[in-house]
């Protein structure tokens, strides 16, 4: 092997290794950022609920935030190729959202959340969604797509 060929192979190896290291370093903040954005989305909705006096408006804020998230999930599922594991994770996330919508509205065997407990329910949604991200496996790309779609919807 000539010295130039060996040098080219070494450079390619170094470049590939460097790219792997860079991607590893950049993936962690992106994944954390995506989760943080989703948590912030629900936290902002809870803050709006707490700042509102009218129970009808509180319900509307909660319902709109849950529906917007469900719509973002629909768009991601229909517009991007996702793995079976991601599809299952998104379905669990969707089921959780639907249960909260049903509980808020008093459908499908749930008693409607009383007006006096809407602030507490909004905080429950935030906490439940923060815990759900540990149970639901969604790729970084899918997570970031959801965040982008939410931004575009709102």
**What does pTM read for this prediction?**
0.68
The first and second tokens of residue 146, run together, are: 């959801």
Q: DSSP H helical segments within the chain, as ranges?
A: 3-51, 55-79, 84-105, 118-135, 140-153
pLDDT in tens, 32-57: 444 567 778 889 999 999 999 999 99
Query: For the chain, what are the domain ranges?
Result: 34-153
- Cα distance between residue 15 and residue 11, in whole Å: 6
Higher pLDDT residue, 11 or 50? Answer: 50
Q: What's the pLDDT band for 85 if we cut at 50, 70, 90?
A: confident
The pLDDT of residue 128 is 85
For residue 26, what pLDDT band results from cuts at 50, 70 and 90?
Answer: very low
DSSP H or E run through 82: none
What's the pLDDT score for residue 118? Answer: 96
Q: Is the pLDDT of residue 152 over 50?
A: yes
């Amino acid at each position: 092997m000539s010295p130039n060929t060996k040098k080219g192979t070494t450079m390619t190896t170094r470049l590939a290794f460097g790219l792997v290291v860079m991607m590893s370093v950049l993936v962690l903040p992106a994944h954390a950022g995506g989760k943080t954005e989703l948590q912030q989305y629900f936290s902002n909705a809870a803050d709006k609920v707490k700042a509102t006096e009218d129970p009808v408006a509180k319900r509307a804020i909660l319902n709109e935030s849950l529906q917007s998230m469900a719509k973002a999930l629909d768009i991601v599922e229909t517009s991007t190729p996702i793995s079976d594991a991601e599809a299952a994770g998104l379905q669990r996330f969707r089921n959780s959202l639907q249960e909260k919508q049903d509980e808020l509205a008093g459908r499908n065997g749930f008693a409607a959340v009383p007006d006096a407990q809407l602030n507490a329910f909004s905080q429950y949604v935030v906490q439940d969604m923060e815990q759900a991200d540990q149970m639901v496996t969604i790729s970084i790309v899918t997570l970031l797509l959801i965040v982008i779609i939410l931004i575009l919807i709102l």
